[in-house]
Amino acid sequence: MKTAIFSHPDCLQHETGSMHPESPARLAAIMDALKSCDFSGKLDFVNAPVGTRDQILLVHTPDHLGFVESSIPADESLAYLDADTVISKGSFPAALRAVGAGCQAVDDVMQGKYKSAFCAVRPPGHHATPSRAMGFCIFNNIAIAARHAMQKYNLQRVAIVDFDVHHGNGTQDAFARDASVLYISTHQWPHYPGTGQPNEKGVGNLINIPLPAGTAGKAYRNIFSENVIPALKNFKPQLILASAGFDAHRDDPLASIKLTKEDYQWIGNQLSSIANECCGGKVISMLEGGYNLPALAESTVSYLRAFLGIAY
């Protein structure tokens, strides 16, 4: 069964300014790399649909949605939702495609069209709280996808694994009181946004694993094996979602974790293996961070190799 890549050209229209790290070039680099790989017809490239307001309101407040929509510039200028989160005329259509990608990926995976999916979209989402945009994120794409899955398919156990180098504070806020969602995050500490300590446990459904700067592949794999894998197996998710940030790569300019493309394939292998054991292989990944373009592209390709069963 093929893996789907959900994306849309609208996601390239979210302009953030020439010096901003979360640029359209990120998505272009990923798509160019994926389309140049010989994956022997194992990928389907799918246009992401437009997400709906009802889907956004599964997680976000009406005031947040209204604030975002009213803040979009009518001309070619840029505006700010917070100090880091820049928006342009094309940002709202891009954000709707990112939301739509996650929800459509859930539908297609849950209905058996694809075993797994990767949403190559922007803006990213895991810092967006129910009531606030922050950290380059407008709407929390992965939290919306999780709520959509739970509501439409009556799922009782959804796991979200966040391996972005920054803690997904928005995702944590969305599910901190919901035991049906297991949220696991590995992230550099101390680092933006300053959340994600081990004592942040929610209702027993949050597992935060802060990592010191300089953590490299062997140590990371040991930590993942000792903490993430047992928690997932014990939870027995009916669906696994991954906040797939590739900014823990050793070449990324915004952090100081030292992972390589081989480590990202290893992460993919672990998630794929657990999903095969627990939920028929169902894994949906949403692009989050990653700001060194060559590292981002090669890490994404490596990660997807795991779900396609392709070794180096």
166 catalytic per annotation: no
- Helix axis angle for 62-71 and 91-110, nearest 10°, is 130
Residue with tokens 């954000």: 95
Report the C-alpha gap between 173 and 282 in whole angstroms: 24
Contact indicator for 211, 188 with CB cutoff of 8 Å:
yes
The SS3 of residue 142 is helix
Mention every residue, 6+ apart, whose C-beta is less than 8 A from residue 10.
90, 93, 94, 96, 97
Report the C-alpha gap between 209 and 195 in whole angstroms: 11
Contact indicator for 283, 240 with CB cutoff of 8 Å:
yes
Q: Tell me which of 60, 127, 166, 249 is the catalytic residue.
A: 127
Tokens of 120: 């190559």
Contact indicator for 34, 43 with CB cutoff of 8 Å:
yes
Mention every residue, 6+ apart, whose C-beta is less than 8 A from residue 191.
165, 166, 167, 213, 255
Tell me how far apart the 2 most distant CA atoms of the chain are, in Å: 51
Report CA 81 to chain centroid distance, whole Å: 20
Report the C-alpha gap between 193 and 212 in whole angstroms: 15
What are the residue numbers of the active site? Answer: 127
